[in-house]
Structure 1
Amino acid sequence: MDVQPKNRTTMKTHRIAILFTLLTGSSLVSPNTFAQKVGGPCEGCEAIYESPVPLENLKSTVMLPDVTWEGKKPLGINGTVYKADGTPAAGVVLYIYHTDETGHYTAKSDAKGWEKRHGSIRGWMRTGANGFYKFGTLRPAPYPGHSDPAHIHITIKEPGLNEYYIDEFLFDDDPLLTADQRRKLENRGGSGIVKLIDAGNMYKGERNIYLGKNIPNYPATRK
């Protein structure tokens, strides 16, 4: 049975994909460079590939650089990533970043790439067979002098698709998260509003993520 690409354009694409895999060492990157584009414009989403660890070797749990218990009560946020059919989604990469406790995206002096814009408080996770993810960090502050509520940005990279953003993590008890702002949320990937519970030495919250929910151009074959 002939399983070769049917035309020269496809053959060229396959050769480029193979070369890209060899150069990057990541099977999560190269095939999806040519995948159907979903999610619309996404400035800075390519920062997901700046992980210091190859994407396929990421753990499902990460502690962001700012996390500490010394005089602080950090956040622990976890959840499950689900496919559109309701089953847990394995192999999904999550990239998160946020402001520091002063509301600024502060980067290290030797920062490169998108770290210069996103700051150094960022991290990467990859779901296992159970779709689970978890991260620890300190609660970010809102932008100084702005009305935007405090938030944590998140980019998703699922197998077979390009990277795209979903709704930011927001905090239900944030006075800046007004009723009007709640109504305007797109709920990409489901609601990003997290209710925090005081667990003594830290605050805990949960957010489940639903792949394809309210994501433009999401393939019907995955729904």
Structure 2
Amino acid sequence: MKAKRLILLAATLLITVTTFGQTKLVGGPCEGCEAIHESPVPFDKLNALTKLPDTRSVGHKPIAITGTVYKADGKTPAPGVVIYIYHTDETGHYTAKAGAKGWEKRHGSLRGWVRTDTNGFYKFVTLRPAPYPGHSEPAHIHVTIKEPGLPEYYIDEYVFDDDPLLTAEKRKTLDNRGGSGILKLSDVGNIYKGERPIYLGKNIPNYPTNR
């Protein structure tokens, strides 16, 4: 019975941090993060590469985003981490296809899932999103993380270094959750390339210290 209680306690500590009787969710509140569980493919069957539906648009140059996900020590690659991304279309709207269900109705149909490989590597290909109508915010790609043994949480959005809406003041407000999400794109001919490493637990509230 004692061993069973210790196992249960360890599992609980992996998911939440408890202080003075109050349970705090790892990463804090996250509306819509549960959409990561709408993956059409079981997590353990996901690939490290995905192409979003908009890459099929004719006459548009896609962007390819790659990176390595690292464990909390900042240097050990983290395999088996699921990444969910979604973004606006070229009009700045989250457009959903006919018959969309669940969170797709709000996040739109330009979304995808990847799972890091044994080297912590991930890659997704899509078109560069447009900012919201009214241009109040820089163009961005939302990202949610689901690592083994923890609930899902969000990290800083992917934004673009050359975006005029990403002003010096906007940059100062970035939380750098998971590390910086600012992308510098390189034109390599038929595609733009960008890279972002992700650091699990970095600037994530209530992240366990025993990871």
Output the TM-score relative to the length of structure 2: 0.90
Which of 76, 79, 82 does residue 67 from structure 2 map onto? Answer: 79
Count of matched residue pairs: 199
Asked whether 1:208 is paired with 2:207, we answer no
Residues 173 and 185 of structure 1: is their aligned pair in 2 closer, same or farther, counting only changes over 3 Å? same
Asked whether 1:107 is paired with 2:96, we answer yes
- Maintained 8 Å contact 2:135/2:165: no
Which of 6, 11, 15 does residue 35 from structure 1 map onto? Answer: 15
Alpha-carbon distance in 2 for matches of 1:209, 1:6: 34
Identity of aligned residues (%): 71
Give the secondary-structure state (helix, strand or coil) at the position aligned to 1:191.
coil
Asked whether 1:127 is paired with 2:104, we answer no
What residue is the counterpart of 1:194 in the other structure? 183
TM-superposed CA distance for 1:6, in Å, is 3.3
TM-superposed CA distance for 1:188, in Å, is 0.1
- Between stretches 162-171 and 35-44, larger displacement belongs to 35-44
* Structure 1 residue runs without a partner (length 5+): 11-30
TM-superposed CA distance for 1:109, in Å, is 1.1
Give the secondary-structure state (helix, strand or coil) at the position aligned to 1:146.
coil
Alpha-carbon distance in 2 for matches of 1:79, 1:99: 22
The 5-angstrom pairing of residues 1-223 of structure 1 reads: 5-6=4-5, 35-36=15-16, 37-68=25-56, 70-85=58-73, 86-222=75-211
TM-superposed CA distance for 1:147, in Å, is 1.7
TM-superposed CA distance for 1:146, in Å, is 3.2
TM-superposed CA distance for 1:157, in Å, is 0.3
- Maintained 8 Å contact 1:96/1:152: yes
Name the Cα RMSD after superposition. Answer: 1.8
* Structure 2 residue runs without a partner (length 5+): 17-24
TM-superposed CA distance for 1:217, in Å, is 0.3
Larger fraction in strand: 2
